[in-house]
Amino acid sequence: MSALEIKHLLGLRGVSANDIRAILDEAAGFRKVLERKVKTLPTLRGTTVVNLFFESSTRTRISFELAEKRLSADIVNFATSGSSVQKGETLLDTLKNIEAMKIDVVVVRHKGTGVPKFLSEHTDAVIVNAGDGAHEHPTQALLDIFTIENSLGNLSGKTVTIVGDIKHSRVARSNAWGLNALGAKVRFCGPPTLMPRNPKMLPVEIFCDVGKAVDGADAVIALRLQKERMDDSLLPSIREYRNFYGITRQTLEHAKKNVLIMHPGPINRGVELDSDIADGENSVILEQVTNGVAVRMSVLYLLSAGRAGE
Ligand code: CP
């Protein structure tokens, strides 16, 4: 019997409110453990986790590794540089070889949309998506949701505005599905060139004017401009972007007084978010990072618990 309806965490699209709630509830317990002097639990002793990061990462990679260590899992870290991928080995061959070493869970980040799903179809291990292309980043959205609920209570009827480079944002997509499943209203705001091609496919309201988008918002999530995925013609001037879409004191005049300021990181200060806002009294950006460890502990624990009976 699985602890969750899902066997892998590939994205939040289609994940039930019950599963999301179970992950958040379990994370609340782990969050308390992280405040203790002794932060390690024996929960995943004997479970082997491979962290397969084909794209750069600071927060997510360290957060998963810490979550695994806090649960006493055995950990193997894979980096593309120095691996056989550089010699032309296919992704599937890499996975099959790692799997032959008897691993239980694979945490994967890759620039290719759908890579975690592809891997889940070719392995018995549990697959956890740590970000695939511009598709989904489910654990980031879960930690965002956890952070909002921690400050503001139940999400039902709350408004969350996501501002910036939506087109390239896996964080925006996962948040749209996850927040919607729990009853929140989601607004996307950004330049038309940085909007997804079919935004109506997502459960969101679209805004071009950032003042209107944050009007009455309970939380604002600013997104990083993903220059590495961007054609220059999409954004001719960073200064102009900052003037129209940067989150500043002026932008927030119409938001709720206690509006939460969030960012998945890394921040381009003075572009998507002014420093006085990023470091201000309403910012929960570093809380997001702390909560990320607890949320990832919960995901690893619940998905591994589902596998234990197989
Ligand atoms: N939020 C996030 O995914 O950050 P990293 O790219 O540093 O992992």
CA-CA distance, 187 to 254, in Å (whole number)? 15
- Considering the domain architecture, whether residues 31 and 109 belong to the same structural domain is answered as yes
Nearest protein Cα to ligand 1, atom 4: 59
Reported as type and span, the H/E element at residue 92 is helix 91-99
The reply to whether 7 falls in a domain is: no
What separation in angstroms does the CA of 206 have from each of 27, 120, 182, 200?
Answer: 31, 33, 19, 8
pLDDT in tens, the chain (310 residues): 458 999 999 999 999 999 999 999 999 999 999 999 999 999 999 999 999 999 989 999 999 999 999 999 999 998 777 677 777 788 888 888 888 889 999 999 999 999 999 999 999 999 999 999 999 999 999 999 999 999 999 999 999 999 999 999 999 999 999 999 999 999 999 999 999 888 778 999 999 999 999 999 999 999 998 776 666 677 778 888 899 999 999 999 989 999 999 999 999 999 999 999 999 999 999 999 999 999 999 999 999 986 765 5
Same domain, yes or no: 91 and 187? no
What CATH number did the domain enclosing 283 receive?
3.40.50.1370
Question: Which ligand 1 atom is the nearest neighbour of the CA of 137?
Answer: 3
Calculate how far, in angstroms, residue 124's C-alpha sits from the geometric centre of ligand 1: 27
Query: What distance in angstroms lies between residue 246's CA and the mean position of ligand 1's atoms?
Result: 20
* Residue 257, domain extent: 138-288
Helix (H, G, I), strand (E, B) or coil at 21: helix
Question: Which residue type sits at 61?
Answer: R
Distance CA 293, CA 275 (A): 25
Same domain for 268 and 144?
yes
The Å distance, Cα 309 to ligand 1 centre, comes to 33
Residue 99 lies in a domain: yes
Q: Are residues 206 and 171 in the same domain?
A: yes
Tell me, yes or no, whether 177 and 250 share the same domain: yes
Whether residue 80 is found in the same domain as residue 193: no
The closest-lying atom of ligand 1 relative to the alpha carbon of residue 265 is 1
